[in-house]
Chains A and B, each alone.
Chain A
């Protein structure tokens, strides 16, 4: 399986570690009930088909990625950076234009 790392390009899945369901959001500690935490920590769907999941490019650029993968076919639709650099892949890929600016 190849995961298209937005920074490194397509890389073998062996360079990544799995981070689980990327649709789960950590509850707000100020207001969350026990059930919310239980859901966040323990409850996971096991979908057959499209799944949004975290993958960590641990043996590459070390970015955490949100990867859309079909669990039935292993086909990967795309990957984006999670965190403060979310969306940077767009900047990264068309940065060729900006090369002479600096």
Chain B
């Protein structure tokens, strides 16, 4: 019994809802998280924790607030001073990080099933997101690879910009369906396409 059930099951299946102008302005895809782990370093152990994260993931943690770094299937996002959210395709990530980051260095918390991720991309992505995001989405202010923790429609969301027209939206699992319903309604104006879950 290992089937994992997404809170968007039955909702995020492929379909097209085009607007009056006949084209889908955005594509929405539910991304499936394998591992998502929060690492919090004690303030006097930041360097050791960063080294430990790098050793496990072969990816250097971002050295900039709100930044993220990416190597192969690992993404490390800076979510606060000394705090990182590490996403990876390695199902053993939490275990491996816990092994190298003991209580003397910091804390490791497995959040792999605590979030749902929706990717939105397409020429109208920033237009649709602006309906809920009160942050400046101009690439100069929010460049690709940056992350922002904020709220859409009162739902806490972590936004990671993949590219100019492409974003990953991490939301709390319990809110995922409510958020999805809001997002598809917001995207109806420009039309949207839902790509198969896990295809992004």
Chain A residues at the B interface, C-beta cutoff of 8 Å:
6-9, 11-12, 14-15, 59-63, 81, 84-85, 88-89, 91-93, 95-96, 98-99, 101-102
Contacts and interface: CB of A to CB of B under 8 A. Distances in A.
Q: Chain B contact residues (Cβ within 8 angstroms of A): what range?
A: 20 to 34
Contacts of A84: 42-43
A15 B150 contact: yes
Given A11-B135, A88-B81, A92-B81, A102 B54 contact: yes
A99 B64 contact: yes
Given A95-B63, A96-B64, A88 B82 contact: yes
A8 B149 CA distance: 7
A96 B50 CA distance: 16
Given A7-B66, A102-B50, A81 B81 contact: yes
Given A8-B148, A59-B150, A85-B82, 9 more contacts: A7-B81, A8-B65, A8-B66, A62-B80, A63-B81, A84-B43, A88-B82, A92-B81, A99-B63
Nearest to B54: A102
Interface of B: 42-43, 50, 54, 60-61, 63-66, 79-83, 134-135, 148-151, 156
Give the interface SS of chain B, mostly helix, strand, loop or mixed: loop
Contacts of A98: 63
A14 B134 contact: yes
A15 B151 contact: yes
Given A81-B81, A85-B43, A102-B60, A59 B156 contact: yes
Contacts of A102: 50, 54, 60-61, 63
